[in-house]
Structure 1
Amino acid sequence: MTVREMGTIPCRRRDLFLLSVCTLTIFIWLQLHHLNNHAVSGAATHWTQKSQTPIQSPTEAWQQDPNIEDERNKAANATLGFGRIIAVSTRTSHRRTSLSISADLTGLEISIPDQPAWTDADLANFKAKNKSMIKKGSALAWMGHLNALRWFMTQPYETAVIIEDDINWDIHLRTKQAPLLARGFHDLLEREMRTNGYIRPVKDKDHNRTTPWTPIPKPSTLELKSKAISSGPYQRTAFWPDSKYWEILHLGHCGDFYPADKLSHILHNTYPDPNMPSPTGLHIDTQRFLNPLGIPPRHRLIHQSLRPLCTFAYAVTKESARKILEQFSTEEENHGTAAYDVRILEACRDLGFKCWSANPELFHHLDDQASEIANVNGPKPAGIVARKEEFGVPDEPPPSAEDTARARARGTPNVACGIRTLVERLGASRNVREMVRLAGEMDGMCPITVDELDLMRGQIVEKGRSNLPVG
């Protein structure tokens, strides 16, 4: 079964000339389109953009000589340099079609493990017997993440990205943004290893926002060996840093915010991303977070996680997935937990998980669609504001009506050219498909409206790339 039906081009064998023309037409048509297969393998659904060359493995996606500038900036593979992209989605989710089309247009392969129809008994076994505080919708979402991680553990891959099915991402994600983040992560670790010979962890003593995050002193040789903290020359052997340096990489979240004076206490790197929104195009909370840090416009941070909220998209390793399944397979007894993302935050903050955050995030949920959690739980009275206060984010006034209206007009927060916004507004015609492919290779291009689509077409034609479809 394919996501998109292919048309056929009639040819008459009796006319050699017409046959030649037809053959040439088919060849050009195939060059301009990538076929997207929707196949079932094991217990998961896969959406794959096929190309003329086989999809590279994560190690093959990083070039043999990473010192060559253009090679280091080469696009990621169909799984963004990880082993798999795994979506948490129910069989009846109305978001699957949009997710499939968007993955196809941006060259991503997404696997969707079958999710059980959870029963009341499943919920009862999951919830804490004493002092439970989780609602049904949040519990179902948590169990969905665990199901995705269990499926990942059956696969022959070392890493995976877990995504929720209501997220959006930029059309430049695979071609531009993922390579920049991977390089920025490598640069950060290489600099730290060159300077100190080990990766310095960070600790927040009592999780009180008035208490500074204090770097842990350099461990002894014995501690280095016992904790397997890497030492020696840093090597870039794969697209992403080796899994010994990280356990959870937060790629999509609703904020890992902290006071500006804490930035110097954590490992971080700042790098340019020309396909980020302008400062005024960022979510108001993100603007308030970045402005005091002095981060230049259209620059992103990769840093040690402090208090990352939401699990829109996060990368895991086999080891971290195993730890999550062992430690967080049920709600915490005698304490309770409001949601899965809170437990992951606690893993990063309290339990020594090696967590890193891309800030601003590369994935964000579609604000105009109610989440599965909200559909079951109902609206959250205090929204994210209460969550921010609970986890130590400085108090700020809520966004104004003007800020809110401007954010809705932009589409998804912190995503400059969201593919799912584009599909919703323009569809997935032949013309749109080719424009997305070309725009993804060029910084700053975003055919998000019909006018911008026509403008971009004119710019590309002026640059001599005029072999574009007309509709």
Structure 2
Amino acid sequence: MTARVLKKDGALVASIGARCRRLEWAVKDSVAQLNWSRSRLIATCVTTVVVLGSLVSLTLSYVMFLDLASESPYVMDAITETPLTKRIAAHAQNETLGFGGIAYLSMPYRFDRQDAMELLASVYGLNFTYIPGVDGTAIVEKAKPLHSYWLRPPELGCWRAHVNAWRYLLESDFETLLVLEDDVDFDVHVHDIFETLSKQMQHNRIRITPPTEHEKRAAPYGLDWDVLFVGQCSDHSNDDRLDLVHLYEDPHAPSRQDTFFHFIGQMESLGIKDGNFGKMRAIAPSWNPVCTMGYAITRGGAERLILDISYRGITGPVDIDVIRKLQQGIIRGYTVTPPLLSAWRVDGAKDSDNQALEKDQTKLGAGNLNGYSTSLKMSARKEMVKILELHNWNDVQRVLPLKPNPTMTAAQEAEEQDEQRKAEAEKKEIEEAWRKRKLEMGQIMEKWGG
């Protein structure tokens, strides 16, 4: 048996060897017919090997990339707009954007920011309630929450102001409250943007239970959440629950160029690619929303927040503590990306009451007319200046041209016109003299190499 196997293997090896020799002879014959030199043959072989190696390398890289890249299983989440859905979403066109109320926090001494917020509210048909900020140094020791001893006074005051906003909701008859800080900016189409969000919030893939009859009739954004983040500074989603990301179209979403770079990466991780910037937003379960610039809360959310970030104590700045509660699953939140609200920046100490005491107060920034915000398609603050701009005397002149003064005689009128001509001539002479003087100075400087 073994001898037969060895004999068979030997015959196979001999057959392979014969075929290799025939292939070698065929190659030699082909080379001879091409009449290629040895150096040319070597160069051709090397080129062939390099090309084949490159193809193999590209193929392997592509396969590895496909393995490593996270596939985006998301598609645009279509919703069926019923008459009831449209009717309840239309509440976003009212003065509170469909929430029970809108409150903003501002330190009592920041009259500049309060003026800006009330101006924004008036121009864009909104109604803001002012909630005074709190000086952390004024909170007596026995009134401070447990574990707050290491918070700086501005952080402690910030926490207290937000808790006061939550209490304001509980003391009212509202079901929801939108809480803003006093440096916020938003898009000029803010009502339409929130109306679109309302339609998506009523039927989204994140909901665990369907909307109740009460929600369908009276809750434009539903009531199945504690906190709805619409003005975060940055965010990171829960990588384990990317299957819950809800994408939707919004014609007022900012372009890639207008979007803060952090949110570009965030949106790409959620399935929004280059071609969809400026067209889409995402709603995702809240996981790491930094800042409390703009968020909505429900009554249940206010109760849980006061319980967990006051009654039980506090373990860090208010926004960081909210993040901890979200990640622990103690509260439930939704986050909209890119955010619907942004911070208005003028640079300098005016930009923060939390850090301002540690900065040079003489550096007060460039002022509101040179301010800026990100992640908005059309800044409400910038457009507000244009909306209120007036050129009264030009308008009067266009509608009511100048008429002769009936109290002046013809001689007086002629004399006045003559004086005006003389004044114009003198003005031109002065301008011409300055022009010549500047030219002479330029020649002198050029002569002396200045």
TM range (shorter): 0.5 to 0.7
Mapped contact 2:253–2:376 kept (Cα < 8 A):
yes
Shift of 1:415: 1.4
Amino acid at match of 1:255: S
Paired position in structure 2 for 1:309? 290
1:428 matched to 2:428? The reply is: no
Deviations 1:397-447 (A, max 9, x none): xxxxxxxxxxx9992111121212334x5473469xxxxxxxxxxxxxxxx
Cα 1:235–1:167 shift into 2, 3 Å: closer
- 1:218-367 → structure 2 map (5 Å cutoff): 236-243=216-223, 245-258=224-237, 262=240, 264-265=242-243, 267-295=244-272, 296-298=276-278, 299-329=280-310, 332=313, 336-337=315-316, 339-367=317-345
Distance 1:278 1:325, change over 3 A: same
| Structure with more of its chain in helix, by fraction | 2
Q: Distance in 1 between matches of 2:108 and 2:309?
A: 24
In structure 1, the residue matched to 2:123 is 105
CA distance in 1, matches of 2:268, 2:172: 42
- Is 1:136–1:376's contact at 8 Å kept on the other side of the alignment? no
CA distance in 2, matches of 1:268, 1:129: 35
Indicate conservation of the 8 Å contact 1:186/1:241, yes or no. Answer: yes
Secondary structure of 1:328's counterpart equals helix
Structure 1 residue 64 displacement after superposition: 9.4
Summarize the Cα distance change of 1:230–1:180 in structure 2 as closer, same or farther, 3 Å threshold: closer
- Which letter maps to 1:279? R
* Aligned counterpart, 2:193: 177
Which stretch has the larger CA shift, 286-295 or 133-142?
286-295
CA distance in 2, matches of 1:123, 1:366: 34
CA distance 1:177–1:410, shift in 2 (3 Å): farther
1:354 to partner: Cα distance: 1.5
Does structure 1 residue 157 correspond to structure 2 residue 174?
Answer: yes
Structure 1 unaligned residues grouped into runs of 5+: 1-62, 193-198, 201-228, 380-407, 432-471
Deviation of the 1:289 alpha carbon? 1.9
- Contact 1:248-1:356 at 8 Å conserved across structures: yes
CA RMSD of the aligned region, Å? Answer: 3.3
Which deviations, in whole Å up to 9, do the C-alpha atoms of 1:16-45 show, x marking residues without a partner?
A: xxxxxxxxxxxxxxxxxxxxxxxxxxxxxx
For 2:141 and 2:184, locate their aligned partners in 1 and report how far apart those are by CA, in whole Å: 25
String of CA shifts for 1:85-131, please: whole Å, max 9, x gaps. 0111122112011111111111110001345665544366326458x
Q: Which residue, 203, 216, 220 being the options, matches 1:187? A: 203
Counterpart Cα distance in 2 of 1:152 and 1:328: 16
| TM-aligned CA distance change 1:410 to 1:290, over 3 Å | farther
- Percent identity, please: 20
* Higher radius of gyration, 1 or 2: 2
Unaligned runs of 5+ in 2: 1-80, 361-368, 392-450
Q: CA deviation at 1:366?
A: 1.4
Query: Are 2:92 and 2:220, in contact at CA under 8 Å, matched by a contact in 1?
Result: no
Q: Deviations over 1:329-388 (max 9, x none)?
A: 27946xx31x11011111211143121011111112113251111213559xxxxxxxxx
What number of residue pairs does the alignment pair up? 296
Q: Which has the higher contact order (CA 8 A, sep 6+)?
A: 1
SS of residue paired to 1:358: strand
Counterpart position of 1:141: 158
The aligned counterpart of 1:34 is none
Task: State the shift of 1:156 in Å.
Answer: 1.3
